[in-house]
A and B are shown apart, each in its own frame.
Chain A
Amino acid sequence: MNASISNNRPAATGPSSYAPYIKARWGLKNHWFPALFSEELKEGEFDATTLCGEPILLRREAGQVHALEDRCCHRGVALSKKPYCFKEGTVTCWYHGYTYGLGDGELKTIIGSPDDPLIGNASIKTYPVTEAAGMIFVFVGDADFGEPPPLAHDLPPQLRAAGEPHYCAHLLNPKTTVRGIRRQGAANWRLASENGFDPGHVLVHQDSPWVYAQDWALPLGFRPITEHATTTFVESNAPRGILNEYVPGSDGVAHYEPVMHNELLDVSAFGGQNVPAGLRTSMWLPGVLLVENAPYPGMSMYEMYVPIDDQTYQYWELIACETPSPEDEAAFVDKYENYLKKAMFNDFNDQDLVARDAMQPFYAQDAGWSAEQLCSLDAVIIGWRKLVAGYARGIQGPPKERSRPRKTRTL
């Protein structure tokens, strides 16, 4: 086909060409991250999560979701262990009764010391919150960052307009139904992200029941054969991402070659006749995967890899389907609950979870970033690392180094 494969290897590929990415062990900051599914936090409830090393308390009161630092400023205990609400709009710590405003995080009273001079002079961090597509999103970043950008800038855009070939569902479209799960993975979030859109990783799925059921033609890997194999999106005030151009352009030119045979090993690709039409993968800041036209044409799969700490991530798996009528919605939900949830998230995606966890020891002390031996299939991975290095709104520091500015107590 095309022998100029080595041209696809970017000129500078070493870790120094994307140094901020190597430092981003604890995630990116000043971005929106999903915290919970909306249905997980009912009216009047508290819940908690950890994003990029920051413990966060969530509260839904009078329909409104609030997010606060889940760490009392007094002795640092987690409020979520046993959160008290004695008065609307406040949360009280179970330990010594420090009581904070949900809106501003300020210390409003101390149960046993109502005249304490600390009252009004101490606070915990609060976080911007928004709800969309059945999820609660929290903006994790610097307190002085200013007005957060729209959530849509931290999610994949609609890449193909309605009516275009291979148009598929988008999660923010009101006609779309989104279903999914979340669970924990035991790897750094970057390893999880890199596996998500890796053109060489398809080998792990060769024996998936899904591939047999759909008679998918699953190549050994996708090899980039032109300079246009990946497209980066770096416009300001818009989502930033990198796209694998698996689908030939309107001119019919292919930019990736699905490799179906390896001569030396005499191995042929697994699976059957059906080439998934319009399937493309792209990865977006701060770590959101889009798989267009999967699991079926017209649907979209999303995955999010949210740093919990430096060695675990919350793995979000979503399927989006356009459902113009209530009947459409019922049919999709039925198929999701009875088939797709297990077939995609367990039978198929479990293989990715295993692969990511398997990389963790090699990268745990950051030795892997300089010892790894990337090949031509990895051009898009280098592209992603550079994109993050150049366009992340900030790099999250380790918890110990993060400043926890407190208002000074003046007596």
Chain B
Amino acid sequence: MSTPDPTQSKVTPPAQGANATKSYQPYVDAKWGLKNHWYPALFSHELEEGAFGSTKICGEPILLRRENDQLYALEDRCCHRGVPLSKKPYCFKEGMVTCWYHGYTYGLNDGELKTILAAPDDPLIGNASIKTYPIVEKYSIIWVFVGDADYAPIPPLESDLPPQESKDYAYYSPNLTDDDAIVLGIRRKGESNWRLAVENGFDPGHVLIHWKSPLVYAHDLAVPLGFKPTSDEAVKAFEDADGPKGMMNMYPPDADGHSNYEPIFENTMLDVRASGGTPALGIRTSMWLPGVLKVENFPFPGITAHEMYVPIDDKSYEYWELLVKTAPTEAEREEFTDRYENYLRDAVFHDFNDDDLWARDSMQPFYENDVGFAEEKLCAMDAVIVAWRKLVARHARGIQTPPMELGLKRRR
């Protein structure tokens, strides 16, 4: 593997200043997330038969219900006085949910007002409703499609997830959607805008924060100071009409040995050297709309780390961290589960990923009022970030609007 001369780099450095954002304005507007996409709501095991759950996605409060093995997702806001149904959801009759405040009762299926407990003849009945959401359960996760009520057709979930790699690929690493994959993970809240979380996830320059991670010491991982793009092939875009839309950092060298990224192990001026000794083979990061990260062969070859950054509101996101492994037999599933519960969950999600959480939260004040998008000074390592912003601007199915402008117009 030859080290290219940085001065020969064909990579265009990111534009600076107020005009820089013009090439991806919809991204700057996407404070509340992207709409008409699938988002994870809960892990399957979090919603048992007969239970209610709730979450907030892109500013929309959502009530979840499992009844007779069927899943339902509805607006978690009574149309009467706007209170969350989930505070104390009543089910007096199968297929319905009743508000704890004044007894407005909705059909789980259509969100229509079926009765009012103490006003069963009210003319409003049949003439008011709350929003319902398409919902599917796959890969151990419950997913909700957040978007316009009249959006059609609803695209398949897989168009909002990373695609499977060819099994012939030298560094093949499993995908969430693989048939015999086992998916284990956690979710928690991060205190920053979802875009900052996403951008940190596949940022070739951010590896410095993991420099002193226990995981790096435990496995003597070679973590460079950063990855510098050395050709325009460093970033590959996926833009097939019906497929997932994403960007991939081509960290591993091509089949012909040509490399597109240079891992920087030393800075001579500062006399700083990267830690670790064992080169990690086949690590590759890619980011997919509406904000799904795939890290192939991480933390070890044959394991994939997925992350999802789901907007809760404009300043917080639900951080989903998953580890995926191919485990066709029960014994393999048990073995991986054991290793996950006793080691990987803490070592990867906490010891390692906590560094990322901290970094994202730290960016928030600068970008809070969108000032940061015009003031930031991007460098050569950020080429993929600008490319991601443009990709989102081109392919998002819609930009979510702030809640008070959202679905508060009711059908009468």
Contacts and interface: CB of A to CB of B under 8 A. Distances in A.
Contacts, number: 122
A350 to B, nearest CB: 13
Interface string A191-215: 1000000101101100000000000
A371 B102 contact: no
A329 B6 CA distance: 91
Contact of A355 (B83, B103, B121): B83
Contact of A264 (B77, B115, B409): B115
Contacts of B343: none
Interface in B204-236: none
A92 to B, nearest CB: 39
B122 A376 contact: yes
A358 B101 contact: yes
A3 B123 CA distance: 11
Contacts of A181: none
Nearest to B123: A6
B372 to A, nearest CB: 25
A222 B118 contact: yes
Contacts of A365: 404
B81 A362 contact: yes
B82 A5 contact: no
B157 interface: no
A367 B93 contact: no
Contacts of B284: none
A375 B105 CA distance: 13
B114 A264 contact: yes
Contact of A265 (B115, B124, B128, B410): B115
A200 B102 CA distance: 5
A11 interface: no
B151 interface: no
A220 interface: yes
B77 A362 contact: yes
A198 B119 CA distance: 14
A111 interface: no
A369 to B, nearest CB: 10
A237 interface: no
A11 to B, nearest CB: 14
Among B79, B98, B100, B102: residue with most chain A CB under 10 A = B102
Given A200-B102, A358-B83, A373 B410 contact: yes
A363 to B, nearest CB: 7
A219 B82 contact: no
Interface string B381-393: 0000000000000
A363 B10 CA distance: 54
Given A201-B102, A266-B93, A358-B101, A221 B118 contact: yes
B4 interface: no
B122 A362 contact: no
Overall SS of chain B's interface: loop
B368 to A, nearest CB: 19
A370 B404 CA distance: 12
B253 interface: no
Interface string B115-151: 1111111111000100000000000000000000000
Given A220-B103, A265-B93, A358 B87 contact: yes
Q: Which of A223, A358, A377 has the most CB of B within 10 A?
A: A358
B83 A359 contact: yes
Interface string A305-336: 00000000000000000000000000000000
B264 interface: no
Contacts of B81: 191, 359, 362, 368, 372
A224 to B, nearest CB: 9
Given A262-B103, A373-B79, A223 B119 contact: yes
B103 A203 contact: yes
A201 B96 CA distance: 20
B394 interface: no
A267 B102 CA distance: 14
Given A265-B92, A266-B93, A373-B128, A361 B118 contact: no
Interface of A: 3, 5-6, 9, 191, 198, 200-201, 203-204, 219-223, 259, 262-267, 354-355, 358-359, 361-363, 365, 367-368, 370-377
22 contacts: A3-B121, A200-B119, A203-B118, A219-B118, A220-B117, A220-B118, A221-B103, A221-B117, A223-B118, A259-B118, A262-B117, A262-B118, A262-B120, A264-B114, A265-B98, A359-B83, A362-B81, A368-B82, A368-B408, A372-B82, A373-B79, A375-B102
Given A259-B120, A262-B117, A371-B410, 6 more contacts: A191-B81, A200-B101, A203-B101, A223-B118, A262-B103, A265-B96
Interface of B: 77, 79-84, 87, 92-93, 96, 98, 100-105, 113-124, 128, 404, 408-410
